Amino acid sequence: MKNYGRTYWFTWGFLILAAAFTGVASIKGAFFGGLVAAVASTLVTRPYERLGPRFAPLLGALLGVLWAIAKLYYVQWTGDVDDYAFARWNLGTAIAIHAAGFAGGALLAALAAAQPLGRSVLAGGLLAAAMTAVPYGLIDWVDHRVAGPVEVVLFASAPVLANEAPQRRPGAEAPVLTPDEVKSLKESLLVVEGPGGLEVLDDLGRRYWPLWRKRFNYPGNRGGPVRRVLVFIPPDERSPEDALPIAGVGKWNFVVGADPRGVCVVRLGGERGAVTVAPELFKSITVTLEQQGATNGATTARSAHAPYQVCSIAVVRRSPFGEFYLPDPVKTGLPYAFDYEYTDVVRLAQAQEAAAKPNVAQPVPPAVPAVPPAVPAVPPAKPAVK
């Protein structure tokens, strides 16, 4: 019976310490959740003793994996969306912790019958710590590089006078750039203070203003280093497939910088596509900016003769060991231009062409006089015979 108690207390204590160290759950959640998990591990103490120290940890690790997966389904059935997203995000760490705790308890139970208690506890603790540290370290390293938040700052241009700034939408606030973001912009562009605050000029003299800043978080990830992406969308680039301005391109895919806390500059265009400027590129994260409603951007723009005023942004992450990350939630309805009058080049050309044609008067056929309706003839009245 003592061996049952040792297995129980060891498993419970290790799960609480591991949860506090890794942050996979709160202390309160680990306290009550570990209480139930320790009971499940204690019920298998007799098979641990029969298998011996060589195979008992394998059985304990298998039970720990199954317990972590069952716990995920329990959260899906009983918790809300945020709790389930957080549980899915920490599934790998939860599997490592439960497998290590159950395996350490199994080794303790198998050795306690033939070895001193101190040696058994030390062996179980070392095994559990190693089984937790190695996978958790690898998972944390990958998540630190790939799964951190991504902030996108969109810069747009507008046809305004040199001493004016574009009008923003009601309630919209200009994003404030940090000193390191301004420093990254100055490496390839000209940054000045204008009538509307900070503005950026490219090598062609086009002026840009920050339109908005949006943060993209991986579902369940509540922290991590923030990677900044400064995106420039010029208004007068031409699509290789269309005569319309950049509204005819429709979609751009680009990568980000390799530094998880760094800043990269992305310049969108028509023929060039998207160009990312960074000390080192990171191909495990791909950002897609697409104008909403434009499955085939050039064809739709040509037929509708109108620009798209909103766009969507999606972030896709890829682990170096396989496809372990789900796509980030796509943000839609994001404006990509300031409020200003847009000249429809297609309809303007059609109107100019129609105005250039001479107006030739068409001959009017002579009017045909109306024919009065025929009056039926009345036969003469017969004389009366007296």
Domain count, the chain: 2
Question: pLDDT by residue (tens digit) across 152-170?
Answer: 999 988 878 888 888 877 7
Q: Is the same domain home to 98 and 230?
A: no
Which is nearest to 338 in space by CA: 212, 204, 152?
A: 212
- Identify the pLDDT of residue 309: 66
336: which DSSP letter? -
In a domain, 275, yes or no: yes
For residue 246, pLDDT over 70 is answered with no
In a domain, 26, yes or no: yes
What is the spatial distance between Cα 53 and Cα 138, in angstroms, rounded to a whole number?
A: 27
Looking at this protein, which amino acid is placed at residue 25?
A
Domain region containing 270 = 150-345
324: which DSSP letter? -
Place of tokens 């995106």: 231
For residue 319, pLDDT over 90 is answered with no
In a domain, 266, yes or no: yes
Please state whether beta strands 150-156 and 227-233 pair in parallel, antiparallel, or not at all (unpaired): parallel
What is the spatial distance between Cα 275 and Cα 368, in angstroms, rounded to a whole number?
A: 73
Of the residues 121, 146, 171, which one is the last residue of a structural domain?
A: 146
Question: pLDDT by residue (tens digit) across 100-156?
Answer: 999 999 998 888 877 888 888 899 899 999 998 888 888 888 888 898 899 999 998
In a domain, 353, yes or no: no
Q: Is the same domain home to 157 and 222?
A: yes
Question: pLDDT by residue (tens digit) across 293-305?
Answer: 544 444 444 444 4
Share of the chain above pLDDT 70, in %: 78
Q: Is the same domain home to 206 and 271?
A: yes
User: What is the rounded average pLDDT of the residues 334-351?
Assistant: 60
User: What is the rounded average pLDDT of the residues 340-369?
Assistant: 58
Q: Do residues 236 and 338 lie in contact, with contact meaning Cβ atoms separated by under 8 Å?
A: no
Place of tokens 């720990």: 64
